[in-house]
């Protein structure tokens, strides 16, 4: 933050010596105030991709909502064109032009883009929570306290484009794969495209119902299966054949397995859906024991789905109704109405879920076991953003971030 410079720039503007072109350019002619860090002699005209990715990743890690993310990109663009500037007015530094003398951290901390972004978002989140009607630019202004409060909202279009760029750069996309029961083989893709498998191996058992999850919180999704004949679970920590890393009993026979990080500790654990009573039974550890959550949701005989629909870090539940294409998703692990309710029907296809674009939100899709077609959607509603054929069908789909990329 650099309130002093902005006051200085404001004075220049009032005197007619600078145009309304931009704070960035204005500072170039400002005198040097600090001996430790110089005024910026020039500022890049374009964003640094590494900064885009780091700011985006930091916001996603804090589970900021879309408006707060936009506020961060508006502020970063206005202050530095999303560059980690080792210069600024007085002691202002970094992407957000934060000042050590004003409590934003040491110069070294502020020049750490993750630290700087964390500082911005940590201040922006409570502002947004307390002022739900505010624009992203108003939130940015409350954090930055610029002398030009309207500049953040004016940067909205640019900031939205930069967020789109950041999403392409950032890692963590979930992709698809399938389990082939006849050979107990797994075939996984790292991109939303057809073609050859990126990873293939043999692991499973007769009747296995495939599941996937990050059982050990290393960022990579691996696989496992529920054995419907006896309610046992068998999980692997690597994408290869071999012995179970986890093997335990949870639930009765003939349930529908689900997986998720129900408590946001980074580890995926297991659960099951009882189609006979429309109830989810979820467990927070990979061991035998009682369910930590028992949640009736919807009518009987739905197709259960799970995901982090709202990017708060917790996986929750939902269902797809094959009879009418209705999806109902809930954001908390308790009984109540759907938080997301919409229709997308693909007759004869199986619903799948994943964070296809690495924005932290799980969305939806379909798999056609008759021909290997996948339809993936990046928001809630009807229609595919990604459509491709992988494999020949006749298989059971799985989804995950197989390569932590």
Q: Does 168 bind Ca ion (CB under 5 A)?
A: no
Residue 386, SS3?
strand
Encode 276-292: b = buried (16+ Cβ within 10 Å), e = exposed.
eebbbbbbbebeeeebe
# of chain residues touching Ca ion (CB under 5 A)? 16
Count how many Cα atoms sit within 13 Å of the Cα of residue 37 in the half-sphere of its side chain: 21
For 368, the token pair is 């056609």
Beta-bridge partners for 341: 328
Closer to Ca ion by CB, 5 or 361: give it.
361
By C-alpha distance, which of 246, 219, 245, 243 is closest to 232?
246
Written as six digits, the tokens of 246 are 């986890």
At its nearest, how many Å lie between Ca ion and the CB of residue 315?
Answer: 6
Residues within window 259-318 making contact with Ca ion, judged by CB under 5 A: 261, 263, 265, 267, 308, 310, 312, 314
Q: Which is nearer to Ca ion, 150 or 404 (CB)?
A: 404
Minimum distance, C-beta of residue 37 to Ca ion, in the bound complex (Å):
39
- Total residue length of the chain: 405
Tell the smallest beta-carbon distance from residue 167 to Ca ion (Å). 9
Closest separation in Å from C-beta 222 to Ca ion: 5
CB of 81 or CB of 314, closer to Ca ion: 314
Beta bridge partners of 175: 400
Nearest CA-CA partner of 328 in 346, 341, 343 = 341
- Closer to Ca ion at the Cβ: 105 or 318? 318
* CA atoms of 148 and 20, how far apart (whole Å): 10
Q: What is the b/e burial string over 108-140, where b = at least 16 CB atoms within 10 angstroms of the residue's CB?
A: ebbbbbebbbbbbbeebbebbeeeeebbbbbbb
214 belongs to the binding site for Ca ion (CB under 5 A): yes
Query: Is 129 among the residues that bind Ca ion (CB under 5 A)?
Result: no
The answer to whether residue 216 forms part of the interface with Ca ion (CB under 5 A) is yes
Contact window for Ca ion (CB under 5 A) among 40-48, 88-96, 161-169, 208-216: 208-216
> Which is nearer to Ca ion, 67 or 220 (by Cβ)?
220
Q: How far is the CB of 185 from Ca ion (least distance, A)?
A: 20
For Ca ion, the closer of residues 91 and 355 by Cβ is 355
Write down the least CB distance from residue 40 to Ca ion, Å: 36
Is 153 one of the binding residues for Ca ion (CB under 5 A)?
A: no
DSSP 29: G
What minimum distance in Å lies between the beta carbon of 269 and Ca ion?
5
Q: Which lies closer to Ca ion via its Cβ, residue 267 or residue 340?
A: 267
Q: Give the span between the Cα atoms of 295 and 282, in whole angstroms.
A: 8
Binding mask 353-372 for Ca ion (x = CB under 5 A): --x-x-x-x-----------
Phi-psi bin for 360: left (phi > 0), alpha (psi -120 to 50), beta? left
Concatenating the DSSP letter of every residue in 297-313 gives -SSTT-EEEEE-TTSSS
Q: List binders of Ca ion among 218-257 (CB under 5 A).
A: 218, 220
Asked if residue 212 binds Ca ion (CB under 5 A), the reply is no
Q: Please name the helix (run of DSSP H) or strand (run of DSSP E) that holds residue 56, with its range, or none.
A: helix 49-61
Q: How far is the CB of 29 from Ca ion (least distance, A)?
A: 44
* Closer Cβ to Ca ion, 180 or 310, answer by number: 310
Least distance from Ca ion to the Cβ atom of residue 308, Å: 4
Cβ closest to Ca ion, residue 104 vs residue 319:
319
CA distance 11 to 3: 12
Q: Does 401 contact Ca ion by CB under 5 A?
A: no
**Would you state the structure tokens that stand for residue 66, as one six-digit string?**
């879309």
Residues that bind Ca ion (CB under 5 A): 214, 216, 218, 220, 261, 263, 265, 267, 308, 310, 312, 314, 355, 357, 359, 361
């Amino acid at each position: 933050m650099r309130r002093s410079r902005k006051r200085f720039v404001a004075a220049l503007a009032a005197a007619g010596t600078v145009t309304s072109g931009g704070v960035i350019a204005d500072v170039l002619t400002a005198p040097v105030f600090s001996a430790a860090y110089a005024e910026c002699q020039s500022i890049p005209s374009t964003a640094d991709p590494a900064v885009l990715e780091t700011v985006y990743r930091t916001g996603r890690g804090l589970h900021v909502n879309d408006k707060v993310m936009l506020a961060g990109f508006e502020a970063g663009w206005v202050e530095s064109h999303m560059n980690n500037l080792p210069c600024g007015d007085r002691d202002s530094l970094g992407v957000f032009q934060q000042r050590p003398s004003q409590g934003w951290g040491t110069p070294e901390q502020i020049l750490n883009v993750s630290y700087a972004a964390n500082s911005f978002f940590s201040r922006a989140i409570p502002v947004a929570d307390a002022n739900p009607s505010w624009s992203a630019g108003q939130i940015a202004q409350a954090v930055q306290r610029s002398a030009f409060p309207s500049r953040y909202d004016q940067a909205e279009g640019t900031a939205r484009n930069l967020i789109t760029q950041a999403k392409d750069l950032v890692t963590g996309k979930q992709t698809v794969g399938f389990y082939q029961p006849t050979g107990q083989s797994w075939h996984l893709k790292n991109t939303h495209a057809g073609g050859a498998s990126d990873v293939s191996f043999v692991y499973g058992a007769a009747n296995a119902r495939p599941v996937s999850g990050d059982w050990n919180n290393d960022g990579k999704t691996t696989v496992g299966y529920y054995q419907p004949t006896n309610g046992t679970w068998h999980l692997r920590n690597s994408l290869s054949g071999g012995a179970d890393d986890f093997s335990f009993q949870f639930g009765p026979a003939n349930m529908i397995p689900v997986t998720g990080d129900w408590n946001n500790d980074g580890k995926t654990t297991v659960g099951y859906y009882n189609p006979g009573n429309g109830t989810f039974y979820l467990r927070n550890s990979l061991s035998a024991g009682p369910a930590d959550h028992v949640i009736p949701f919807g009518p009987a005989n739905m197709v259960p789905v799970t995901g982090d629909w709202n990017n708060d870090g917790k996986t929750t539940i939902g269902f797809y109704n094959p009879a009418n294409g209705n999806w109902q998703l809930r954001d908390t692990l308790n009984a109540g109405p759907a938080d997301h309710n919409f229709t997308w029907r693909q007759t004869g296809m199986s619903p799948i879920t994943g964070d296809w674009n690495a924005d932290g939100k799980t969305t939806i899709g379909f798999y056609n076991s008759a021909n290997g077609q996948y339809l993936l959607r990046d928001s809630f509603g009807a229609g595919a953003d990604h459509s491709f054929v992988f494999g020949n069908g006749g298989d059971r789909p799985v989804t995950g971030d197989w390569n932590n990329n």
